[in-house]
Structure 1
Amino acid sequence: MKVQVRSGEMTDSELPDWLIPPPEGFHAEDLDHLPGLPAHTELIDGSLVLVGPQEDFHTLMLYLLESGLRRTVPADLRVRREMSVVLGPRQRPEPDVVVLHARGIRGPGVTAYRAEDVVLAIEVVSPESEERDRKRKPQLYAEAGIPHFWLVETCEGHPSVNVYELDATTRAYVLSGSHQGRVRITVPFDIDIDLTEIDRL
């Protein structure tokens, strides 16, 4: 097998050991033990997903969402960004932002959260991860029972936030609103985020 890289080609013998999966695929806990694993590597369906460079919109959107959520988050909840969540034995994606129960933070050395502690998962769509952000990851979050999900996209250079709630019967998300300019909602708690602030960051 040969792998294309920017500087040419690599053969199997030149690949780092952590890049070659075991026959059954990787498990969630493997991400804590693979040496040399790049930051923000995700595990989806037992396969490692290496994340590409972020665009400016993505970075600014994360800052805006994090600061906006922190303004009104209740005392028993916490806001975190770019931390992985264990959804199952072979599922450990990394949402861009999560809101979770404070009880789910089990100390400063924690490297991943549990799905049952997450109240809201947010994905900001990137060109290299469109399929995962729009399809597979929301499916996994819903199947794991995370009650709220936001999908953030750019529309003509401006943010658009699609808000979803979990249908407990079908274990699938249902769109409850699309927001441009401002996100003002009351679930999972009172949230008011001026999306136009992104132009002033």
Structure 2
Amino acid sequence: MTTVPEWMHPPRPEGWFADDLDHLPEAPRHTELIDGALVFMMSPQRAWHGRAVSALLFALTDQAPANVEVEREMTIRLDERNRPEPDLLATRAPVYDPQRTFYMPDQVLLVIEVVSPESAHRDRTVKLRKYAEAGIPHHWRVEQDDETPVIHTYELDGVTRSYAPTGIHRDRLHTAVPFAMELDLSKLVPGRKG
């Protein structure tokens, strides 16, 4: 049995806090904080996941209005014990800060999680609930059906602070919220060429 590296020990008995993530240079990329616990990906990323994230990044960036920025893999400081990292997020365009390490929920318009086997439970249940409770207006969950993405869209019900499903999109996604966009899902993640 190997010993746990020193940096993995919580700095206090009650565990980790959101600001602690900025002081863990030894932590693997894509480390998240969920309910005061560090969560990081130890499995290699699948090619389909990477292509889906990149394709969505380019498609949304091309269609986003001037006052919206689309980012990949930036954490959101939901509260002092939660700082998840969605695959993509669309934000109200803030002043560019090259030192930024997170966004606040009121800056975020849309979060997108591309589901992987190792993150499926968190993406489908835990993060869905936490993003809604934080007041993020829109959430998309992207699942793989054969080689084609299927996008499940949700909109926040402000009264209950929970998401209402607004659609399951298999071929095309056409929406006006959080901004007008149209995606041809059958061409979003191209397979092998030639």
Q: Shorter-chain TM-score category?
A: over 0.9
Which residue of the partner structure matches residue 175 of structure 1? Answer: 165
Which residue of the partner structure matches residue 6 of structure 2? Answer: 17
Which residue of the partner structure matches residue 181 of structure 2? Answer: 191
| Aligned AA (2:161) | R
How many pairs does the alignment contain?
A: 189
Matched position secondary structure for 2:106: helix
1:153 matched to 2:140? The reply is: no
Structure 1 position 106, deviation (Å): 5.1
Which residue of the partner structure matches residue 78 of structure 2? Answer: 87
User: What's the Cα RMSD here?
Assistant: 1.3
Whether the 8 Å contact between 2:153 and 2:165 is mirrored in structure 1 is yes
Matched position secondary structure for 1:199: coil
* Stretches (4+) displaced over 6 A: none
Percent of aligned positions that are identical: 46
Equivalent runs, 1:93-132 vs 2, <5 Å: 93-103=84-94, 105=95, 107-132=97-122
Matched position secondary structure for 2:190: helix
Whether the 8 Å contact between 1:64 and 1:195 is mirrored in structure 2 is no
| Aligned AA (2:22) | D
Structure 1 position 199, deviation (Å): 2.0
| Aligned AA (1:119) | L
Relative to the length of structure 1, the TM-score reads 0.90
Distance 2:44 2:165 in 1: 29
- The answer to which of 158-167 and 185-194 deviates more is 185-194
- More strand by proportion, 1 or 2? 1
Which residue of the partner structure matches residue 4 of structure 1? Answer: none
